[in-house]
Amino acid sequence: MATIKIHLDTRKTAKNGAYSIVLRVSHNREHRNIPTGLRAKKSEFSEKGGQYRNNPEGNAKLLEQLQLYNQRLQEIPVQKLKQLTAQQLKLTLLQIESNHEVTMHIFWQREIDHLYQTGRTGNATVYKNSLSVLEKIHNLHKPFSEFVFKDILDIERRLYEKKLSVNTVGVYMRALKAICNKAIKQELVDQAWYPFYKYTIKRGKTTPRVLTLEEMKRFVKLEVSSENKFLYSSWCIGKLIFLLRGINLKDLLQAKPEDIKGDRLIYKRSKTGKMYSIKLLPEAMDILREFHPNHTLLGIFTNEQMADPKRFVYISGQKRKLINKYLKQLGEMANTQEPITTYVFRYTYSNIAKQLGFSKDIIAEALGHEYGNAVTGIYLELFDNEVLDNMHEQVCRKVFG
């Protein structure tokens, strides 16, 4: 009897100490794992219950995937199921043809669909855009086994012929590499096939845009009329990003009223899944009162807009463009040397913290980056609120007075 259970795969640990949560397919005394895209530390997960200990949203996503694959399992005729190996059953559940039939294009598209189904719309969009570009310059309608090292070089050459930047080419090549890795993990091809062994994805150097301390002070002291709705709300959002330790715009716009606990904003960063607790200073509380919350803290999106994940990616992208458009105008009003975007506040926060003498590890933790020092990482896990609150207050006082 084939079964599917939610399982914490402890064979490999992520940098933050979390493990992958998988759907374990058991059949004929063999096991195969289907990734869910979710992670948890041992202390956060109940293996017996097959769920997070205190994460209703995460449990809802896990249950949705479990129900999806159980439904597919029930649709397989009993006689056919008896003839399948565990690996063949996994491919059937993933709706992937046999290794000889599946093409790179089919597999890639199904990975995109899987990402959308599991709520990872950011990665899904990157994969979708990358596939759209690469399928126009290279034949992807072939099995992985026919894709070789020289094909990678051909794709790279054609991308550079399109006058794309080093970093843009890198985005597409990393997506291609990830798809190849997924094909190996799902045993469509053998590890020995891997064509990226001898290839290094290039990275171009970028200089983050930052405001000087004086420019940041001029920005927060601008006189902006609330009658100009979009300009005023963009100004408030810019200040909020800074006052919330350089919070990512996506996380800010999707934060919920219930994420505020006392004088703290507690939320899960969408990019990493890590929980953050940020002290809300009086200036931040004053700005939040300027908005009219619904199911989100700022009330920017309606329930209808967020109902369809694929369409919401487009809607949120347009909202980001609109906010950046008005931030650019505000930058001109404040006479800043650099054009202002939402990311400028994130880098500016980091730069001011550095000028105040705070370590790179503490700044990285505050902004949600991976920190390189393992000892510092353990220290911050234990004392992050006290350490980060102190830095946060000093940085904000430097700007807001």
Which CATH number covers residue 284?
1.10.443.10
Q: pLDDT category, 93, cuts 50, 70, 90?
A: confident
Full-model pTM: 0.67
Number of domains in the chain: 3
Looking at the predicted structure, is the pLDDT value of residue 383 above 70? Answer: no
Residue 357 clears pLDDT 90, i.e. is over it: yes
- pLDDT for res 151: 97
State whether 224 and 182 are in the same domain. no
pLDDT tens, position by position, 284-309: 999 999 999 999 999 999 888 888 87
Same domain, 114 and 86: no
Average pLDDT over residues 340-362: 92
Is 354 in the same domain as 389?
yes
User: Are residue 108 and residue 90 in the same domain, yes or no?
Assistant: no
| 384 pLDDT tier (thresholds 50, 70, 90) | low
Answer with the residue of higher pLDDT: 234 or 189: 234
Domain of 304, in residue numbers: 213-400
**Which amino acid belongs to residue 129?**
N
Cα separation, 382 vs 396, in Å, equals 23
CATH of the domain at 102: 1.10.150
- Beta-bridge partner residues of 54: none
Write down the pLDDT at residue 374: 45
d(CA 53, CA 265): 21
Q: Encode pLDDT of 69-79 as tens digits.
A: 999 999 999 88
Q: Provide CB contacts within 8 A for 210, sequence distance 6+.
A: 338, 344, 347, 348, 350, 351
Mean pLDDT of 277-285: 94
Q: What residue spans of 247-333 are helical by DSSP H?
A: 249-254, 282-288, 303-307, 309-333
Unique residue bearing structure tokens 């800074």: 242
Is the model more confident about 118 or about 170?
170
pLDDT recorded at residue 138? 95
Please name every residue paired with 38 in a beta bridge, in sequence order, or none if there are none. 21
pLDDT of 395 reads 96
In the chain, % of residues over pLDDT 70: 95
350: its two tokens: 């980091």
In the listed set 95, 122, 153, which residue is the last one of a domain according to the structure? 95
| pLDDT score recorded for residue 379 | 43
- Please determine, for residue 368, whether its predicted confidence score (pLDDT) is greater than 80: no
Q: Does 220 share its domain with 200? A: no
Same domain, 138 and 49: no
3-state secondary structure of 39: strand
- Rounded distance between C-alpha atoms, residue 277 and residue 196, angstroms: 39
Cα–Cα distances in angstroms (integers) from residue 340 to residues 187, 211, 354, 364, in the given order: 46, 8, 20, 22
DSSP code of 315?
Answer: H
How does the average pLDDT of the chain come out, rounded?
89
